[in-house]
Structure 1
């Protein structure tokens, strides 16, 4: 009787201990070896942040990179303001990266990888290169406006011992190398006056340069008026063809110098024509 009671108690205890043992085995793989051995769980310490490096290209906090250049000269003087009157407070070293944040006329606000921010002159910025290794050069904004021009207006003047030639023109640049040139001119001779109107197509193969040569052909109309003191006074008008060579040279702001030479073939009849030529120099405004 006592033996049967002991056997029943043992089976009841085994039914309780067996589920507890299985639960412990399921949880064991999720525990570290240190925990299963009764040792405190130690987590790996995070790697220390690396200090800033001078030759790393800096970026905005958002991660978006700005225009940046690398110093290739001995140093890059940074001033507290955009002008030579401001003191130099820092010099960026060779191989150091700087970010261009702002431009004010010929001064650039830059920031180094060490967080120093200051102003650098255009002249000193020539001692830097871009990320592609190309020397840094930013076009003068007024020169760029001339290179990107679409319209221009101007007036020119030419003279010889016997005549004077006054010209006004308006141009429309409809592509990088082609433009439409409209001209009106007045020729004053010793015994006559000639009024000219013409339209020409000009080709400018190097229109992206400060000096831009051009050549063109066109058609026009003329009106010949003799002076009142001429005995056989007879007015005449007709059509003409034009060939032009010349060039523009950018001066400053919106002003360019224009020099051209034109040769005209004026048709006095179906079979006859007269040639004359004129050279002018003048100024043009571009828009």
Structure 2
């Protein structure tokens, strides 16, 4: 059902652009209304409401948001869950494609949470990243290291290379800079304690699990310098990312 519309959406919306000379899919609103946001995200303000029975044209998709144009000319973003209850001209419900690995490749932003082990110490971190290209991204992180009821902080900025990004199971390489702030009892990591800087090298696998979620498993090696001392640290970690 709706296979013809789906084919048009995959070709038109899936690429993220709509050419003026192409026919854009038109749907009829069957809910009491759908809301148009200024950008793809709930945090952006609602500036227009399209009421039941009105026509909307699909222009572009970004993860689970669609850019649409109302019959009156207003252009804005609405959630796919609302648009999925619109109707085709035949009166049948629209068959909209789900978020896919291809949508992940087109996404620009992602945030995540990771847990792992830095040497013999549990570690946890929050990450936020931006990807200007499908194969290259930048990421910042902030985390904690736990050992013997003591916590230490670390921060980092990394470049992520994904040359084989077309696979659902995607290998990647990582290079970056880290800064550690070790507690005085964190002797398991460094003998010369205090603040320390490090160069980060690593690699891992990302696996797209559906909708807006990605699992990452990663191994890193840190070359850490504190005053005149230098040492190597290793870390395994796994995390969940969401993209938009």
Q: Indicate the SS of the match to 1:145.
A: helix
5+ residue gaps, structure 2: 1-20, 25-57, 59-82
Give 1:193 deviation, angstroms: 3.5
In the alignment, is the contact (CA less than 8 A) between 1:187 and 1:195 conserved in 2? yes
Match of 2:147 among 164, 183, 189: 189
In 1, Cα distance between equivalents of 2:141 and 2:23: 47
Matched, 1:281 2:210: no
Indicate whether 1:208 and 2:166 are aligned: yes
Matches within 5 A, 1:231-250: 235-250=193-208
Cα gap change, 1:207 to 1:161, in 2 (>3 Å): closer
Once the two structures are superposed, residues 82-123 of structure 1 have per-residue CA deviations (whole angstroms, 9 ceiling, x without a partner) of: xxxxxxxxxxxxxxxxxxxx9x97xxx8xxxxxxx898xx9x
After superposition, where does 1:8-87 map in structure 2 within 5 Å?
none
Say if 1:192 and 1:244 are closer, same or farther in 2 by CA, change over 3 A. same
2:180 match: 222
- Decide whether the 8 Å contact of 2:193 with 2:226 is kept in 1: no
TM superposition shift of 1:246? 1.1
Say if 1:196 and 1:160 are closer, same or farther in 2 by CA, change over 3 A. Answer: closer
User: Comparing both structures, which one devotes a greater share of its residues to helix?
Assistant: 1
**Deviation sequence 1:227-275 (CA, Å, 0-9, x none):** 49xxxx98511211100201211112111111111111110224x2111
Change (3 A) 1:225 1:256: same
Q: Which one scores higher on RCO, CA 8 angstroms, separation ≥ 6?
A: 2
Task: Give the alignment's TM-score, normalised by structure 1.
Answer: 0.48
* TM-align CA RMSD: 3.9
Name 1:167's counterpart in structure 2.
125
1:92 corresponds in structure 2 to none
- SS of the residue corresponding to residue 147 of structure 1 reads helix
Q: Say how many residue pairs are matched.
A: 168
1:207 positional shift: 2.0
Q: Which one of the candidate residues 210, 227, 230 is aligned to 1:269?
A: 227
Alpha-carbon separation, structure 1, partners of 2:118 and 2:157: 24
- Counterpart of 1:150 (choices 108, 113, 117) is 108
Structure 1 contact 147–209 (Cα < 8 Å) conserved? no
Q: Is the 8 A contact 2:156 2:176 kept in 1?
A: yes
The Cα of 1:65 is off from its aligned counterpart by 9.1
Q: In 2, distance between residues paired with 1:188 and 1:204?
A: 31
CA 1:235–1:161: 2 relative to 1, 3 Å: closer
For 1:215 and 1:161, the matched residues in 2 are separated by 20
Distance 1:179 1:191, change over 3 A: same
